[in-house]
Amino acid sequence: MAINEQIKALAEKYRDYTATNLSKMVKTKSYSSKEEDVCRLIVELCKEAGFDDVRIDGLGSVIGRVGFGKKAIAFDAHIDTVEVGNLKNWNFDPFSGDIKDGKVWGRGSSDQKGGAASMITAGRILKELGYAGDYSVYFTFTVMEEDCDGMCWKYLIEEEKFKPDLVVSTEPTTCRIYRGHRGRMEIRIILRGISCHGSAPERGVSAAYKAARAALAIEKLNNDLQPDDDNFLGKGTITVSQMDVKGPSQCAVADYAMIYCDRRLTWGEDDKLAIAQVKKYVSEATGDKEEDIIVEMPNYEKLGWTKKDYHQELYFPTWKIPEDHYLVQAAVADYKDLYAKDPVVDKWTFSTNCVATTGRHKIPAIGFGPGDESQAHAPNEINRVEDLVICSGFYALLPYKLDEMNK
């Protein structure tokens, strides 16, 4: 039996195993920076699957390996989740992990413990088949992505000197092959006014009114942003996500305003450009000189579950790779061999750990994951068991397809 047929059969054989593992992970609450319990669970699941090596890195991510090749490919899943939000929006227990109607139900099932469950099954399949090709196949179950995309990988690459040759993100793609996404950054704007008694506001300068004009300037900037040259990633965006206005009392003109922005960066845009644009538009709207407006990029300061002191600025670079890149072509061949049809090759709308692996460190990457992007951070989150099976097979076959291309 050809290797693709063996892998497809094994992925199907382990359908219930994969769904059950995902259910176990969903039942194990793992909000960002509080992932210890699910990490300990994943270590045991990887050991049970027969991985050649499993360890926990300094920041708390689980790193598993199958194979002993000279090259390295890493399949990545972040295993932290956002919180559940208003429970009234849920029709079931967010941590039930129920398996019914061909789906696994609960927080993190798509974003993105589904990818993690399929990775474990892929490792089991590779061990069962005795994979001994050119690649050491790493499976990384990474922490704190929801709070700070890619910091886990920035740590692995820059501090632990683990830099694979290729990366596959298993974030949800509806079983499509993704080859890029926009970057992002967070921007904080500080505006100053002059306070006075509220009974005579003309004596002061209101930071509140400046903030209102600045917010409308951000709306104008968003409308003015342009797409990338080939229109693959689309236009950048900016939006006001938070505002805070303060003064000496409730009977005074406000002398302080803070505006927080989410900025999505298309190809060719970076942090310096984005900050300069904000200064220009806000200055024109408020009448302040650009040098008098504070526009800054905050740092991420939270500690993870290992209490490792590690931080970074809230900047996450844009990335993409060409459609004719050998990793994309191997992925296309992989999909065709397993499912006898052409895959969709596209991009994410949201951001992933690839901002670090590929945006910062230029490691070629693709995405292929179970579940839908629209399920991310939404109430009543689910993942299809069929997607888990498809991805288990896809991940297991990809090292073989890469070996073929290297011959």
* CA–CA separation, 377 and 285 (whole Å): 34
Q: What are residue 104's DSSP bridge partners?
A: 99, 383
Q: What are the strands of the beta sheet with 99-100, ordered from one edge? A: 99-100, 103-105, 382-384
* CA–CA separation, 354 and 361 (whole Å): 9
* CA–CA separation, 116 and 80 (whole Å): 11
Residue of 35, 57, 80, 337 with catalytic role:
80
* CA–CA separation, 65 and 269 (whole Å): 36
80 is catalytic: yes
**DSSP state string for 188-223:** EEEEE-B--BTT-GGGSB-HHHHHHHHHHHHHHHHH
Helix (H) or strand (E) holding 299: strand 299-300
Closest C-alpha to 82, from 5, 19, 20, 144:
144
Contacts 24+ apart (CB under 8 A), 386-389: 386/102, 387/114, 387/174, 387/175, 388/15, 388/18, 388/19, 388/22, 388/104, 388/114, 388/117, 388/118, 388/121, 389/11, 389/12, 389/14, 389/15, 389/18
Residue of 145, 269, 337, 372 with catalytic role:
145
Closest C-alpha to 192, from 289, 278, 314:
289
Strands 71-78 and 166-169: parallel
At 189, list the tokens.
């704007």
Which amino acid is present at 6? Q
The 3-state secondary structure of 163-195 reads CCCEEEECCCCCCCEECEECEEEEEEEEEECEC
Q: What are residue 177's DSSP bridge partners?
A: 345
SS3 state at 236:
coil
CA 9 remoteness from chain centre: 30
* CA–CA separation, 85 and 405 (whole Å): 46
Q: Which residues carry out catalysis?
A: 80, 145
